Structure 1
Amino acid sequence: MRSAPSFSSLWMLWGCLGHRVEFGNGASGLADRGGGPSFKKGDRRLCSNYRGITLLSLPGKVYARVLERRIRPIVEPRIQEEQCGFRPGRGTLDQLYTLTRVLEGSWEFAQPVHMCFVDLEKAFDRVPRGILWGVLRDYGVRGSLLRAVRSLYDRSRSLVRIAGSKSDLFPVHVGLRQGCPLSPILFIIFMDRISRRSQGTEGVCFGGREISSLLFADDVVLLASSSQDLQRALGRFAAECEAAGMRISTSKSEAMVLSRKKVNCSLRVRGELLPQVEEFKYLGVLFTSEGKMERQVDRRIGAASAVMRSLYRSVVVKRELSRKAKLSIYRSIYVPTLTYGHELWIMTERMRSRIQAAEMSFLRRVAGRTLRDRVRSSVTREELGVEP
């Protein structure tokens, strides 16, 4: 049986690969990779519903991480505030909070907000490497460091593993590796260049500044105060995407208007009309054209109920499993599913009551009780050591 490499071995590897980066000696022998399809959602029979995941060797991953550590301090100060994907100290909540506050303020003052939720086709897989090297130069990555990055992609080859069998190695000339530690920072630099070049004067006012877009990696929201302004912003963004080798999906990109009355928003990309919707799930949170969060609470309760059903026999009522283990699963899986995005909710007594009822549905089963036992929720919580 093979043992895991020791810390000293990994440290030596880190130093050796750091030397390669320093002198731009290249990633000879590290660029070859394996990969396999990973299902996203939808019809499993459609190839478009799968993404390819790259499986790098350990030295290849370490080399990519060394490069990422060298590149990030150079480019991070140059990336716009609107981008929160793959950045330290930022996450989905930052974008969700900003969008929620923008919509709340606009609703309060009866100002409509026109939005376009943009979907890019196979974003990671379509990045042209020649353009990417130019973007890196513009952002300050030059010399031996740029040569080291290019060496990881030059003459790169891949194979596909499916059902235990492997394909022959084939060359890969476009796209970034999904699963590689270096890819996220390269991608957000690439997207930042597109976003910068497509900026205009359109937007909505929030906190004394104009906000025209929000980005989380390739999840893009364009905002404007009118459909005409939004169409102009979308046209520029689409043109910059096409120039950079990217493509907007007209079937998955959608328009929505937050307004007290029905407002049409006819947006077109490449002559095709984008669908206008009354609700859209952005970064896991449901936004509606009426600005209400009750539907999102309904979705979280439904998702938590689905988790409980899936765990019912294997965890919740399994006698061989200790109560401590069940509560650990409750805290690590059930509660995060139920409360995702709760920082955005304006909690009413009705909403609080429904959330607590969903929690107690799980906890009563852990305690081996039902509603018919007529035991107070506070007693069950105290017995299990779970605070409200």
Structure 2
Amino acid sequence: MPDRLGRPKHIVRVCWERLADPSVRGVFNSHLWESFNQIPREVGDIESESTMFSSSIVDAAIRSCGRKVSGAGRGGNPRTQWWTLEVRDAVKLKKESYRAWLARGTPEAAEAYRQAKRTTALVVSEAKTQVWEEFGEAMEKDYRTASGKFWQTVRRLRRGKQLSANIVYGGGGELLVSTGEIVGQWKEYFEDLLNPTDTSSIEEPEAEDSEVDSFITQAEVTEVVQQLLGSKAPGVDEICPEYLKSLDVVGLSWLTHLCNIVWRSGTVPLDWATGVVVPLFKKGRPEGVFQL
């Protein structure tokens, strides 16, 4: 049975935020050392080197940080953490009392429904209060990620349920029905967006022999890694910025080794050249490609 519109799917992700803990970070790097000591010292092709690095760092993150399910995978609403078993039973009893009142119409049934309604309101109020108290305690306890958690909660509460848009209009405003037409419209849009025809103002710098013959130092890699923005989605290689920022000397030397292979060979791994396009629609008709 297909998922209902607006119902978020559950997602299993690595708890990368635990890398903020020095002890977890130490376990992460120890797992990475094990993989690093097993790799052959001779330089292989860039794809095999990149695959070995990405798989090792992701495996180390999973083993040290663990994983969790986010979304509505357990049957609950992710926006209502107060929906506990006690609340569910109270709401169920209220509905049953309401149906009994409609069926019987007696004063006793009416009083039972009113009592169930008052009880449900009290249980829901207590559950909501407890959730917000726990939220406040979590903000005070983990000050490093408090700001991110706070705004993540605000966005989740504001967003509500999102309906998926499967309708696409062509450049002339006509409705596209077939899959081929829709894919073609997306292809045309991004070709025009990412391949501008006016390139007269772009001047490519001339490569100097001294730069080609040089190599990338570990200090340069370390400086760039520390400038990475956190809390960003991983690419197709499943590497989060927090993984790279948590690397110690051994991990950074491995990353530097990989960068030098790329620099000297002039080729990049397929994962580095593969982008994930996520359409974020502007206001208006959300299904129109031309509104991106």
Q: What TM-score do the two structures reach when normalised by structure 2? A: 0.24
Higher helix share: 2
The one of the two structures with greater contact order (alpha-carbon pairs below 8 A, sep at least 6) is: 2
Q: What TM-score do the two structures reach when normalised by structure 1? A: 0.19
Which structure is larger by alpha-carbon Rg, 1 or 2? 2
